[in-house]
Amino acid sequence: MLENPRSPRVRAVAKLTKRSARTETGLFLLEGPQAVREALTYRPEAIVELFATPTGWERHPDIRAQAADAGIDVEHVTEYVLNAMADTVTPQGLVAVVRQTPTSVRDVFAASPRLVAICQEVRDPGNLGTIIRAADAAGADAVVLTGRTVDPYNPKVVRATTGSLFHLPVSVGGELEDVITRAHEAGLRILAADVKGDDLLSARAEGVLAEPTGWLFGNEARGLEDDALALADRVLRLPIFGKAESLNLATAASVCLYESAFAQRAATVG
C-alpha cells in the first residue's frame, strides 16, 4: 500500500492537475467511481494506473469486476495519499491515470458525421465539459476543439463530462479554418450560434436543421469573432422569450445540438 503522500510516485500523479504535466506525459487524471467506471467500460486500454483506498475498493464490486476483466491491477493507497493525488476535496476513494486519446480532425470528418460540435475559444472548463456531455447525449458524432479552447483533459472538464469524454471522439488543437474546410468537404453545413444571427426558429421551419451540421460555438464573453462568423454558412440565435439577458454558453449549445438531433431523427423517420 502506498502510504507516503510526498513520494515521487504520488507527486507524479498529482502533477497531472497541471496542463504542462499532461502535455509532457500524454496522461490525465480521473477521479471518482463514475468516471473510473466509464473508462473501464469504454476505454479500458487507456487506463495506465488505478488507485483506490481499501474502503473505496470494497464499496464498488462492479468496478472490481471490470478491472479484473480488463486485467488492470489496483494499487491500494491511504486516504491521505489519495487526497494528495486528487484535484477534488473528496475523490470518493478512486483515482486513475489515463492515457489521452484525442482523435484527429481528419479522422473525425472521414467518418461521415452528421452532427458535430465545434468549440472555438471556449475557455471555461465547466462549459466545455457540459458541451461534450450534451453532444454525447444528443447523439453527436464528435466534438472538435479549435483555437485556445480549454484543455479537455483539465480535471474540471473531465468531471463536467461525467464520462462522456470516453463516449465520442474529441479532436484537439485544430485551426478553425481547416476544420471548417474539412467539414464542408464532408458535406456538413456550418451553423454558428451567435446573438447577431437569425432566429433559429426560421431555420427550423426551413428544414435546415435536418441537414448534416457542424454547430460552431464561441467564447463565453466575446462570442465568435467576425472572421469566424464569416466561415459559417449561416449564423443563428436562440430566441429569448422571457426577460433573461442571454443564455449560458453550455445551455445554448445544448439546445442547438438537440434541435439538430430532433430534426435529423424526424427526417430519418419521415
| 74-86 residue pLDDT tens | 999 999 999 999 9
Sites in the chain below the pLDDT cut of 50: none
Res 3: pLDDT: 94
pLDDT in tens, 188-216: 999 999 998 999 999 999 999 999 999 99
Res 270: pLDDT: 56
Note the pTM of the prediction, 2 decimals. 0.95
Res 51: pLDDT: 97
- The angle formed by the CA atoms of residues 60, 76 and 66, to the nearest 5 degrees, is 40
Strand order in the sheet with 170-174: 170-174, 142-146, 115-120, 213-217, 189-199, 234-237
Contacts with 222 (C-beta within 8 Å, 6 or more apart), sequence order: 121
| C-alpha cell read off for 163 | 464520462
First CA to last CA distance, the chain = 59
